Amino acid sequence: SASLFGAIDMAPRDPILGITEAFNADTNPAKINLGVGVYYDDGGKVPLLQCVQKAEAKLIEQLSPRTYLPIEGLAAYDKAVQELVFGAGSAVIQEKRAVTVQALGGTGALKIGADFLKRFSPNSEVFISDPSWENHRALFESAGFIVNNYTYYDAQTHGVNFEGMLDSLRKMDAGSIVLLHACCHNPTGADLTQEQWGQVIEAVKQGGLIPFLDMAYQGFGAGIAEDGAVVGRFVDAGGPLLVSNSFSKSFSLYGERVGALSVVASSADEAARLLSQLKRVVRTNYSSPPTHSGKVVAMVLSTPELRQLWEDELAGMRVRIKQMREALVEKLAQKAPGRDFAFVREQVGMFSYSGLTKEQVGKLREESIYAVDTGRICVAALNSKNIDLVVDAIAKVL
């Protein structure tokens, strides 16, 4: 008899996870994976931050029962996240116009936001940058939206095609949802200047668009407050705003699935109704978030000495990535003098669109160096021991 699932097609492989599978299968001990979206320290390890270790030690001492959290998450966590995202003491918090729900990483926050928007703005279309994090399109499509691209990257300059971006924004119908990377654009590493953000905010406001800021890398660009400042600028411009944020990278807590969705309403009353609807979305998805990671992050953010330690450790990650950018540019200038890689210095965050072609990426793989077909490399996977191998290999395939 025919099996119920007999006719199911194989789903396409996740392109990034596919790289990791190929990397894992490679027996060359000198292999290097630049395809990942994870920060490694100079020893090539994913760090377990000191601030996290200290918070976890305290939690173990407390030995608390694992009751359910409220649907919207741990109150202390949601409060700490709001202060981080909007700025402690900001008017939007004092006026109780912002609501925050704990979410399963940045992905969970985007999914809650997408499902919520589909209920209350069902006819909107969604616009994501060209290119964007590959899961953006799938997440919003799976929530039932039509997803389009807006112009973003300029391969010629390795930066943002800003006129093209503004043009795209101005052509969108009122009520369109525009997904913007708050900082450290994934995959390109090309960010907007503060001045350009001002023009984007103006276009969003003029066009009656719904901005959704995805902030997965706060603290990896110019600094925690600096990277988050764009959120406050959107709030000041008025209108609705959604912000997803993630601690996967900034706390090195990838597998703990810790992030949040914040939504700004026009009044405290509207915010209360909005929260009740967000809770409904959470309730019908996974009911309530997990306890451990929320407690760790809440404790670190709200305990002054742990907070200071976190800020120092995050600064350490940010500075190391910048050093690797600098080293990559300098070493490539020596080994591949015909090509200018100075743009890598201007890019921000964990990634660089290196300009390497698919064919060149294929040749790198023959040297056991793994990158994404688009030429995206994770600068945070470079270290003082592997960078020369990478530079030599790049020089060879150019």
SS3 letters for 258-270? Answer: CEEEEEECCCHHH
Q: Which is nearer to ligand PLP, 244 or 386 (CB)?
A: 244
Distance in angstroms (rounded) separating the CA atoms of residues 18 and 27: 16
- Which of helix, strand or coil describes residue 179? strand
- 31, 118, 249, 331: the catalytic one is 249
Stretches 85-93, 99-107, 199-207, 218-226: which one binds ligand PLP (CB under 6 A)?
99-107
Q: What is the DSSP letter of 291?
A: S
What's the min distance (Å) between Cβ of 351 and ligand PLP? 8
Q: 240 or 349: whose CB is closer to ligand PLP?
A: 349
Q: Residues 78, 191, 214, 227: which is the catalytic one?
A: 214
Interface pick for ligand PLP out of 77, 133, 140, 370 (rule CB under 6 A): 133
Out of 102, 188, 246, 250, the only residue in the binding site for ligand PLP (CB under 6 A) is: 246
Tokens read off for 193: 């200047």
| The pairing of beta strand 259-264 with beta strand 147-151 | unpaired
Q: Is 335 a catalytic residue?
A: no
Q: What is d(CA 185, CA 215) in angstroms, rounded to the nearest whole number?
A: 9
Which one of the listed residues 133, 191, 279, 331 is annotated catalytic?
133
Q: Is 214 tagged catalytic? A: yes
Non-local (6+) Cβ contacts of 143 within 8 A are 111, 114, 115, 117, 118
Tell me which of 216, 306, 364, 390 binds ligand PLP, using CB under 6 A.
216
The residues, any chain, with a CB within 8 Å of residue 267's CB and separated by 6 or more, are 95, 97
| 347 lies in the site for ligand PLP, by CB under 6 A | no
Q: Is 248 in the site for ligand PLP (CB under 6 A)?
A: yes
79 is catalytic: no
Interaction of residue 375 with ligand PLP, rule CB under 6 A: no
Binding to ligand PLP (CB under 6 A): which residues in 29-88?
A: 37
- Residue 256 engages ligand PLP in binding (rule: CB under 6 A): no
Residue 265 CA, chain-centre distance (Å), reads: 23
* Residue 324 DSSP SS3: helix
Helical packing angle, 304-335 and 292-302, nearest 10°: 100
Give the catalytic positions in this structure.
133, 214, 249
User: Footprint of ligand PLP on this chain (CB under 6 A)?
Assistant: 37, 105-107, 133, 181, 186, 214, 216, 246, 248, 259
